[in-house]
Amino acid sequence: MSRTLRPIDPRRFAVSIFQTNDENLAARNIFRVVLNSDQAKLERGAKVEPILFWEVIRELQRQGMSMKQEDIEAYKRDCMKALQIDF
């Protein structure tokens, strides 16, 4: 699926530190999918809860990452597919 999202510079954005190692691993995987869609190189590990997706999106927005609603929906679809998130 081809998207026309704005390019994201991974050096400009980072994912916060979450309380557990599983949350950190899952957040990194969400970030990788947002950056690289179906080309993301994922780490094996924790199941991703839907709330973590929204926390990562909010964190990236706080850091100044510009995203339209259709961008967020595309990230959500990509994460559903790549990470088996059940929204």
Handedness of CA 67, 69, 72, 73 (dihedral sign): negative
Q: For residue 79, is it within any domain?
A: yes
Q: What is the pLDDT of residue 13?
A: 78
Residue 57 domain flag:
yes
Burial profile 28-66: b = 16 or more Cβ within 10 angstroms, e = fewer: bbbbbbbeebeebeeeeebebeeebbebbbebbeeeebe
Host domain of residue 51:
21-38+45-83
**Residue 1 pLDDT:** 46
Over residues 25-76, the pLDDT tens digits come to 999 999 999 988 888 899 998 789 999 999 999 999 988 888 999 999 999 9
The number of distinct structural domains making up the chain is 1
- Whether 3 is covered by a domain: the verdict is no
pLDDT in tens, 5-25: 555 666 777 777 788 888 989
> Does 16 reside within a domain?
no
Q: Is residue 68 part of a domain?
A: yes
